Structure 1
Amino acid sequence: MSPASEVARFLIIDDHPLFREALHSAVRMAYPDVDTVEARSIGEAVELLAEARPFDLALLDLSMPDVHGFEGLLQLRTRYPHLPVVIVSGYEDPKIISEALSYGAAGFIPKSVRKDDLAAAIRSVMEGAIYVPETYKAEQPDPESNDRADMVQRLSRLTPQQLRVLQMLRQGMLNKQIAYELQVGETTVKAHVSEILRKLNVYSRTQAVIEVSKLDNAELFRDQQGF
């Protein structure tokens, strides 16, 4: 737990109020005196995490309104590498679980589990374990998985600002638009783009977008729930 207090402090990141309340209830089963804080988007979560008082655990839904695929998890892992982030998701495909774990998730809890099981899973993560569903079986690695792991490693070298620029590139924004959003000069944006290309070992912004998009498992998500 955080040194500032003996009471655990959790950040619940989910845009659905009913499930946020369900998580609150499950968390209190595990830690009756827990201090829980809510965020309805990744942007709001980042603002809360910037506060002086640290969090002991983040519970993150994969499907958030201001990010796509695993972008939210990658942002949190890059900005706050010491914060355990547990995915609590309606997606239960083994491929998605494997991807989440490869990106540094401290666990993957399906939303379909019972409240007492959810509480037990949270306890196990707080005790240092990596939680996965009992039915989960890790798939054998393949060349594509190795390529994705390599790209994740490269992404971890990006600064938080470079990650924001990359996200905007994926949205098709031009340098001028990115500069306006970040309130910086276009020269600064160009410098960020150059560093992104160098760190990702690609030769154009289009190639960067294509390579990073492969991490989303977009077809898999769309097949399941129009993610």
Structure 2
Amino acid sequence: MGSPVILVADDHPLFRAAVLHALRAAMPQADVVESASAPALGQALLAHPQADLLLLDLTMPGARGFSVLLHVRGEHPQVPVVVISSNDHPRVIRRAQQFGAAGFIPKSAPAEAIGEAVAAVLDGGSWFPPMAAERSEADAELAAKLAQLTPQQFRVLLCLADGLLNKQIAHELGLAENTVKVHVTAILKKLDCYSRTQAAVLVKGLEPESSA
């Protein structure tokens, strides 16, 4: 295997620099690609579809809680994702795991933890801090429902959650308004929702609770 390609998605330059430093120390041969927003990450994933690992911050411009994690898992299932977050509430860690992450590194963890987690996941394993939160059936159900959506439907759903009308969604995603209408109908059916508002509430549930 050549040099591993590792994507780092975080909007804080200082934190990206710290992660880069930890990665360089743990695996000097790694090729690291940085992104500071969800759209930039989308471009990086298209440019590096064979990336070996993604280190993902949950709170970035263009991201809504766990939406990016679910989106990446749906569109690039071959890329393992390790979530890095300052919110290390046990339920947030548990939800990251249920939504398909291969690992979770609290931002408060020592630099060595990044190297440890990356090595474990590149080796085909997983890396999570000890968790007190129980597995949630509601989250498991939500993850299963969202997994039925196509990448395009997922994008439409996130626009719905922002309160956009079909015409605005069509403009935003470069689609015909009729296509958006078809997507919305399919989304509501797959998610067992009877209204756009109910679907928006469902997406709201992807936002990590505060750790307070």
Per the normalisation by structure 2, the TM-score is: 0.94
Q: Given that residues 22 and 114 in structure 2 are in contact (C-alpha distance below 8 angstroms), is that contact kept between their aligned partners in structure 1?
A: yes
Deviations 1:168-212 (A, max 9, x none): 011000111111111221101101101101111212111111223
Matching residue of 1:130: 126
Helix, strand or coil for the counterpart of 2:60?
A: coil
- Corresponding residue number in structure 2 for 1:208: 199
Contact kept in structure 1, 2:67 and 2:206, CA below 8 Å:
no
Q: What count of residue pairs does the alignment treat as equivalent?
A: 212
Q: How does 1:1-227 map to 2 (within 5 A)?
A: 6-51=2-47, 54-133=50-129, 136-141=130-135, 145-217=136-208, 220-221=209-210, 224=212
Q: Secondary structure at the match of 1:129?
A: coil
Residue 138 (structure 1) shift: 4.0
Match for 1:154: what amino acid? K
TM-score by length of 1: 0.88
Q: Counterparts of 1:30 and 1:79 in 2: how far apart (Å)?
A: 29
Q: Which moved more, 1:204-213 or 1:80-89?
A: 204-213
Distance in 1 (alpha carbons) for counterparts of 2:22 and 2:206 = 31
Q: Is the 8 A contact 2:98 2:139 kept in 1?
A: no
Find the aligned partners of 1:90 and 1:148 in 2 and give their Cα distance. 21
Q: Which runs of 5+ in 1 are unaligned?
A: none
Q: Distance in 1 between matches of 2:48 and 2:65?
A: 29
Contact 1:151–1:212 (CA under 8 A) maintained in structure 2: no
Alignment partners' CA distance in 1, 2:44 and 2:71: 14
Deviation at 1:66, TM superposition (A): 0.9
Is the 8 Å Cα contact of residues 108 and 132 (structure 1) preserved in structure 2?
Answer: yes
- Once the 2 structures are TM-superposed, how far is the Cα of residue 52 of structure 1 from its aligned partner? 5.6
| Whole-angstrom distance in 1 between the partners of 2:149 and 2:183 | 10
- Residues 90-111 of structure 1, C-alpha deviations (whole Å, 9 max, x = no match): 1111010000000000100111
Q: Which runs of 5+ in 2 are unaligned?
A: none
- The structural deviation recorded for 1:215 is 3.3
Q: Is contact 2:83-2:101 (8 Å) kept?
A: yes
2:206 partner SS: helix
